Structures are given as C-alpha cells and as structure tokens.
Amino acid sequence: MTPPTRSIDDLRAEVDQINRELLKLLSQRGAVVAQIGHAKTQEGRPNHYDPAREDQQLKELEALNEGPFTAAAVKAIFKEIFKASLDLEESNDKKQLLVSRKVKVEDTVLDIDGVRIGGDAPPVIIAGPCSIESEEQMEQTAAFLAARGVKILRGGAYKPRTSPYGFQGMGVDGLILGSQVAQANGMLFVTEVMDTRDVEIVAEHADILQVGARNMHNFALLREVGRARRPVLLKRGLSATIEEWLYAAEYILSEGNPEVILCERGIRTYEKWTRNTLDLSAVALAKQETHLPVIVDVTHAAGRRDLLIPLAKAALAVGADGIHVEVHPSPATALSDNEQQLDFAGYERFIGALQAQLKQPVGV
C-alpha cells in the first residue's frame, strides 16, 4: 500500500522543528566550546585554532555521512560551524583577559614613588647606557640625565648577547651600582632580569624589572616577575605578534601584578638598514586593546643614532606614554651596542627636539 503523500505545510513544519533542534544543539556546542577556550587560557595556550583537531573531526564526519548531502557539502557546513566556534572562543577569551579594555576601560596609571606613567600623565623618558660598565660611567650618566628632568635610569647588569663571547654585564655588582647612583640622583632604576633564579636579587635593587625581547616567551620568568610585586617593563619579542605580546603581559597580571608597562622595540624583518623595524601601528593598537601604558624603545628599533629623533616624534604622535633611549658618556668606547647610543650632546639635541610633545619643561 502506497503511503499517503504529506503536504508541503506538514513537511515545512517538520523542517522548522528540525531547525529548532539544530539551533539548540549548536547552542550546546557553543557553550562547550567556550569552556574549552577558557581552559586553554588557564593553561597559557594563546592559540585557539588547532588544525589537527579540525581535520580529525572532518574526517570522522565524512566517514559517518550517509547522504543525501555530499561529503563536500557536509565538510563546508561543518567548517562554517568550526569557524563560528573559533570566533566564539577568541571573543570570549578577549573579554576575560585582565589586560583587555573590556575588563578595565580606564587607563592604568602607574605611580612608582611619585613617577606617573600612563593615562593623562606626561610622557616619560627612560634613559641610560646599554650596559652598566663602571662607577664613573654610571655616576656621570645619572647626574647628567637627572639634571635634565629624567626620572628613570636604565642600565643592563645582565646582558643577553647574541654571541656568548660578548660582554655579559657586571651582574650583582652592576645591580648595586645602578641602584645606588639612581637613588643618589632621585631617580628610579630599571634593569633587565633574564633568569627566574635572578628575580629575587634584581627585585631587591631595581624599582622596575625589565623582561627583554628574547624572554617575552619565557613563561616561567613572566610568572616569576608577576609574583615579585615590582612594576614590570615588558618588551615585545623579536617576531612576536601583538596578540602574543598581550598574552605575555597577561601572564604577569594573572599572578596578581597589575603594574605592567608594554614596550614596543621594533620587530625583526628582512630590512637591513635598521636594526629592527619599528611597528608604530602596534603602539596604536595596544593603546586601543589594553589599558596598560605603552612606551617605545627607539634605540633598539633603529640601531642608529640619526633616526632616533624622527622615530621618537612619531611614537609620541601615535600616543606612546614614554620613550626609552640609550645614553652613554662615550659611546665609542662602550662595551656593547656603541653604534646606537647617544652621547650627552646628542641627548641634548634629542630631548630638545621632543620638548613640545613631552608636555613638560625639560631641564632645570
């Protein structure tokens, strides 16, 4: 006996019911996906897309497909579902990141012993030699910079060098020296920490801990400086994306330390005429996406003295909260990076050119 033919309205009603069931299942799937995204964030896994996992699911669905849709059609449908799920994972992740403006709308303004960084505070200058080399060098530099209104003295006690035979820094002696001359001149002292084992001793002497470009992906170090309860200057990695940079900052904030300064210092490209390529779009984007202060290290971006003034002007124009520049009494005799450091006369020209953008008087 031939079954009775169903009406179009009846069939459409069934399709409508199936649509509702599909939507309910998609919503359930989305809720699970969101939990997966949260779990990845908790584990410190910034990359949500897993191509191997996607391929595994598509192959399983293709094997289970009994029609009437073709394998290609099923694959296309589920790829769209996967894409929407990935977007959901990433958007939910961004909402809950401590660095995000979606979590904290207003600018974070650091107040480190009266030195304000970020928000409506005037742009700061962080200056000093690449490496701490001697007492005379540091005393001369600190006195010169302090007399010109610089409140933050930089200097490397531990130096990450490409060659293992290059000058590696003075170590603890350099920390003590840098801290002493900074205090004597009413300045803060910032220096790089390279190893989790050194965080405690560096934090004992430095007012701000610097995590260098080569260590931006050193997650154990990021967590350790987060626990040190000292402000942290986090440089962007040599080839790091903006997202990876912000996730690195998230490691520090997740340990309970909200005092993080992001530092753009140029990224590695194929360009040979500069040491790195300064990415000013990253500064503007970081200011939009995060509430943290963002400064620019023009010295490491350029690697050459003649570009420091225009790069610093451009950095301040896009909203940087400060400029990081290397200054040495005698760059020609410096033990590291002598071709990119300013001498005192060069710094006078540099700061004079920026005076209008710094929103404050320069010098005494």
If one counts every other C-beta atom within 10 angstroms of the C-beta of residue 244, the result is 15
Per-residue pLDDT at 237: 96
Kind of pairing between the strands at 115-117 and 110-112: antiparallel
Q: Distance between CA atoms of 215 and 236, rounded to whole angstroms?
A: 9
pLDDT at 85: 85
Mean pLDDT over residues 9-32, rounded?
Answer: 92
Per-residue pLDDT tens over the stretch 340-362? 899 999 999 999 999 999 975 44
Q: How many CB atoms lie within 10 A of CB 241?
A: 13
Give the burial string for 69-106 (b: 16+ CB within 10 Å, else e): eeeeebbeebeeebeebbebbbebbbeebbbbbeebee
Residue 166: per-residue pLDDT: 47
pLDDT at 364 over 90: no
pLDDT tens-digit readout, 149-159: 999 999 999 85
User: Within the chain, where are the H helices?
Assistant: 8-42, 51-64, 71-96, 135-146, 172-184, 199-205, 219-227, 242-254, 280-289, 298-302, 308-317, 344-358
Contact 78, 57 (CB under 8 A): yes
- Would you say residue 294 has pLDDT above 60? yes
Question: Is the pLDDT assigned to residue 22 strictly greater than 70?
Answer: yes
pLDDT of residue 180 exceeding 50, the answer is yes
CA atoms within 13 A on the CB side of 8: 0
Annotate 153-203 with DSSP letters as a single string: EE-BSS---SSTTS----THHHHHHHHHHHHHTT-EEEEE---GGGHHHHH
| Residue of 4 and 268 predicted with greater confidence | 268
Predicted local distance difference test score (pLDDT) of residue 159: 57
d(CA 318, CA 311): 11
For the stretch 220-261, pLDDT in tens is: 999 999 999 899 999 999 999 999 999 999 999 999 999 999
Mean pLDDT in residue range 83-103 = 81
Residue 50 reports pLDDT greater than 90:
no
pLDDT at 185: 97
For residue 86, what pLDDT is reported?
Answer: 84
- 3-state SS, residue 131: strand
Residues whose CB falls within 8 Å of the CB of residue 212, separated by 6 or more in sequence, listed in order = 160, 192, 194, 235
Compute the distance between CA of residue 226 and CA of residue 221 in angstroms, rounded to an integer.
Answer: 8
pLDDT at 165 over 70: no
Task: Give residue 167's pLDDT.
Answer: 46
CB-CB neighbours of 343 under 10 Å: 15
Does position 26 have pLDDT exceeding 80, yes or no? yes
Q: Are 253 and 280 in contact (CB under 8 A)?
A: no
On whether the CB atoms of residues 252 and 215 are closer than 8 A, the answer is no
Number of residues in the chain: 364
How does pLDDT run across 61-91, given as a tens digit for each residue?
Answer: 889 998 899 999 989 999 999 888 888 877 7
Share the mean pLDDT of the chain. 90
- How many Å apart are CA 210 and CA 130, to the nearest integer? 13
pLDDT at 168: 52
